Chains A and B, each alone.
Chain A
Amino acid sequence: MIVESSGTLTRLAGPVAEAAGLRDARLYNVVRVGRRRLIGEVIRLHVDRTVIQIYEDTSGLQVGSSVIDTGEPLTVELGPGLLGRVFDGVQRPLPALAADESGPFGRPFIRRGIELPSIDRDRSWDITFCVKEGDRVTSGDVLATTPETSALDHRILVPVGVSGRITSLGKATAQAEDPVVWIDGAPVPMTTRWPVRRRRPASLRLDPSAPLITGQRVVDTLFPLARGGSATIPGGFGTGKTVHEQTLAKWADADVIVYVACGERGNELAQVLEEFPNLEDPRTGAPLMERTILIANTSNMPVAAREASIYTGITIAEYYRDQGYDVALLADSTSRWGEALREVSSRLEEMPGEEGYPAYLPSRLSEFYERAGAVMSLGSEPRAGSVSVVGAVSPPGGDFSEPVTQYSLRLAGTFWSLDGDLARRRHFPAIHWTRSYSLYDLGAWFDESVADDWTEQRGWALEVLGQEEELQNIVQLLGIDVLAPNERVTFQTGRILREDFMQQSAFDEIDAFCPLGKQYWMLRVIHRFHEQLFGKVDESTDIDRATSLGVLADIARMRSWPPDEAEARGRDLIARIDQEVGSL
């Protein structure tokens, strides 16, 4: 039984307020503030006062404004109808807010105190039941399915903590609030709620063993991310964080993408909203938007809701994971989330930790990253599902020694290090090859699924890139003349790897997505070139003549190979390399 208790505001500073009279408030309960019923959350309790953070602009509130405790924590609505939608940090549907005609400014500006259901109440869903009357069910069992999109069947599960016997079935066509079934006489509605700050339970955590394929050569080949793993991608402004996150949102082979735009630019979101409905999901052919859920709290939207947006996103991700799907959560950027924590903390006059961030920054970050994972769901027939997390970080001044970057590095298994220097010379993705790493052991998967010498080719590429970097340092000091012939070969191959393999255009129709088979053949061609040229070192051949070989232009254009011709073209190019280099 929820009892609403009420109090009054006693202090206001930015997004933080204090109230008196809320004696029964629990930590993290949601409150409604003032005449407009702004959404807030209890973040600290004292005997005589309650501290709350408010998820909407607080100007115009006054001491004495009412505060009502709803008795519930901050929750999200979970059910069919989330895919393809855009929400703010506390899961209000943004297009519906924009469609609302009332108010002095008209539609395009976000007004305050608007309550709208997250999930459309009027939409009907065709239900296919997976249980019948009399069945015994337990938490996590699939009750029914409904085609949420053309590519994804939404599985309606027995809610956590519920078990018993199905006493009756609901209608074959249901709306959000309709019961799907009755369990022991109690209705189970199609839409459920879950508190965002609590992780959803699973029966077993699995070790990540397969990669999340992204079609990005530098990612898949060199620094792969595991399905159910986590990656961090720090970079100064202009190094391509957002383009990279959007590229992953487009091409990663996940069933569901949750994209959290946290404190970033409004126009970037407009781009996603205009672009995604017209792009095809490479796996299903359905519009990309149909597998995407956007949580948007742009930089000019209220700062406390920015803090909540990360939790809203990951809770929705876990919900689809529990249905047995692979979900990728892309958060851009976790720094803005950290700054929201810092802003609220400083209004609370807490003792600051590093660089003004609160001392609990690392524990909050680890709570977030550890909600990534591959799991077996609850239920009598557990399903495998995963949430992979990619967190962008925006270090001040591009300096990675700052707290958010450092704590993220401690938690994430894959590190894509964006480099300002590469970005300035328009080497994209600007992921630096000697500083990045992947701790996931996925070699066995690649050797089995793509080519049995995948790990070997990858190892060779990393080795050459490492050597080339050292040679670069020497050449920059002393010129290329000091390099021995074998070093010149490495120097040249390193350059080919950098320019013709690692660089990849996110805006080129063919190059934007490079399947694993094509990645493999591109790498194998470069490796062969290297071997052939290396074989010439002892024969007193002038290695520099190799810089004018005709095959180099063909190597540079491998990126525009149609993927299904990669093997044939690769074999053909290798034959020509053998011939041209051989005749040097």
Chain B
Amino acid sequence: MMLRRGLHTTELQTVSYVSGPLIFADRADGVHLGEVVEVVAPDGEIRRGQVLEVDRDRAVIEVYAGTRGLDLATTRVRLGGDAARLGVGRDVLGRMLDGSGTPIDGGPPVMPEAFWEVNGLPINPAARAYPREFIETGVSAIDGLNTLVRGQKLPIFSGFGLPAGELAAQIATEARVGDSSGEDFVVVFAAMGITHREAAFFRTTLEDSGQLHRTVLFMNLADDPTIERLLTPRLALTTAEYLAFQQDFHVLAILTDMTNYCEALREVATAREEVPGRRGYPGYMYTDLASLYERAGRLHGHAGSVTQLIIVSMPDDDITHPIPDLSGYITEGQIVLSRELHRQGISPPIDVLPSLSRLMNAGIGEDKTRRDHRQVADQLYALYAGGRDLRRLVTIIGEASLSESDRRYLAFAEAFEKRFVNQEGRRSIIETLDIAWQLLSSFPDEDLKRIDPGLIAAHRT
């Protein structure tokens, strides 16, 4: 077991309440807040749990594997006084583990080099190095308009049935940084409540690309214990931090699907009878999500980095739902998938207008991508936004009454989706920008307000 077994010195047989994910243990003197406990079920099965609250009379414990089959009389709680710790080591690369860190690939136990607290410690903001290394994902809508950099945390806001997983897998297998060989690049994958089909897809994609030996998979699937989902991303991020800051790897951590994680959080909050916030999610969900998302970045004096790609399924495609909303406030931008583009066969169906990368500016430009990158991106946005507005207008008044200039915008929006956003295979950033210039060529110079005349002259073909 990767999660460390502590020295459990005290044992209580005082369980006074069992319901949903929680049990109460009475006469819990000396219990530490946040400590990890072992709950011994009547049949002898050992389940992990964590202390959420203590007072003089009792401790409130959440049981990761659920409380089914527990009783009051014979269930025992073993205390050790230590926070949850994960065995970390290089050895973990290439392994597949369950949501609480136990190998499920039939291989031998993982040899830990150290045990790290799974909750981590907040990174001192003064120790952070600002992320500025361009990651070429090969996806035009990302590289050209919403550039990802090393150390960034970027969610993919998706809807049920949209190909967020495919996009994440594509980035995991095709992303490149500069002319590096990629040997220092690893993927840590945390599945929270996703289906066997989705999980198998990720695994196969990574296997087919020959990357499985550089990947760690933490799998909590849809039929695995719900509350364990609160643990899974913390194990994955602890592993990611170890590989990045102790072993100098560039780690891409993929967390999917945060919607399932948040539902587990809500389940525990409800069981504790907490005052609910929006849509029943707890008021501290922002803080809780931040404790995961902020575990991305670069540090002064360390070669490695943790970059997060987070998949968030928006219930009913609603971007104002608390899960995408709070995520968007913490992450450094978002990639938004569109059902409409997906329906039209645009792949990947990225809607660039609501998408954003906050760290783009530092990662692009003369020595990183190309000098015209910023201005071309701004120009594409402005023209595409104009074209989209006109589409609405056309549905009302018809295309006949449009001016020549308006028609140019409309045609551009169409071409932008079909030729720029839509793509087969990987594109380099130079290819991406060149396609952009081809699309811009339909406009006269004075419509390209966002680009310096000198750059226009240099790139007009």
Contact = CB atoms under 8 A, between A and B. Distances in A.
Interface of A: 10-14, 18, 57-64, 86, 94-95, 97-98, 105, 107-111, 236-238, 261, 263, 265-267, 269-271, 273-274, 296, 298-301, 303, 336, 339, 342-343, 346, 349, 352, 355-356, 394, 396-399, 424-426, 475-481, 499, 507, 548, 552-553, 556
Interface stretch (B213-221, B286-294, B411-419): B286-294
Nearest to B278: A396
A14 B56 contact: no
Contacts of B386: 425
A109 B119 CA distance: 12
Given A98-B124, A425-B382, A477 B34 contact: no
A477 B389 CA distance: 12
A397 B123 contact: no
Interface string B250-280: 0000000000000000000000001111100
Contacts of B131: 267
B381 A425 contact: yes
Given A267-B297, A346-B283, A238 B120 contact: no
B128 interface: yes
A403 to B, nearest CB: 12
A60 B32 contact: yes
Interface string B321-344: 110011011101110000000000
Contacts of A94: 124-126
Interface string B28-39: 111111110000
Contact of A426 (B123, B295, B322, B381): B381
26 contacts: A11-B54, A11-B56, A57-B121, A59-B34, A62-B81, A63-B54, A86-B125, A236-B328, A237-B334, A238-B334, A267-B151, A267-B332, A269-B125, A270-B128, A270-B130, A273-B126, A274-B130, A296-B126, A299-B286, A300-B295, A301-B122, A303-B284, A398-B325, A426-B382, A476-B389, A507-B374
Contacts of A478: 396-397
Nearest to A14: B284
Contact of A266 (B54, B119, B123, B302): B123
A267 B333 CA distance: 12
B34 A60 contact: yes
Contact of A63 (B30, B129, B333, B446): B30
B287 A343 contact: yes
Contacts of B31: 62-63
Contacts of A59: 32-35, 83, 119
Interface stretch (B16-24, B170-178, B186-194, B352-360): B352-360
B121 A109 contact: yes
B127 A98 contact: yes
A109 B54 contact: no
Contact of B56 (A10, A426, A507, A548): A10
B51 to A, nearest CB: 9
A301 B128 CA distance: 14
Nearest to A11: B55
A249 to B, nearest CB: 15
Interface in B31-50: 31-35
A554 B428 CA distance: 35
Contacts of B35: 59-60
A343 B302 CA distance: 35
Contacts of B332: 265, 267
Contacts of B123: 108-110, 266, 300
Given A11-B56, A270-B129, A336 B286 contact: yes
Nearest to A108: B127
A424 B277 contact: no
Contact of A60 (B33, B56, B121, B287): B33
B196 to A, nearest CB: 32
A13 B53 CA distance: 5
Contact of B385 (A300, A301, A346, A424): A424
A478 B275 CA distance: 49
B401 interface: yes
Contacts of B300: 108
B274 A267 contact: no
Contacts of A303: 284, 287
B437 interface: no
Contacts of B333: 238
A300 B325 contact: no
Contact of B354 (A13, A108, A263, A424): A424
Interface string B344-388: 000000000110101101100000000000100010011001100
B446 A507 contact: no
A86 B126 CA distance: 8
Nearest to A302: B122
A267 B132 CA distance: 11
B127 A271 contact: no
B299 interface: yes
Given A478-B397, A507-B374, A355 B278 contact: yes
Contacts of B151: 267
B449 interface: yes
Contacts of A355: 277-278
B460 interface: no
Interface string B280-324: 000110110011011101011110000000000000000011100
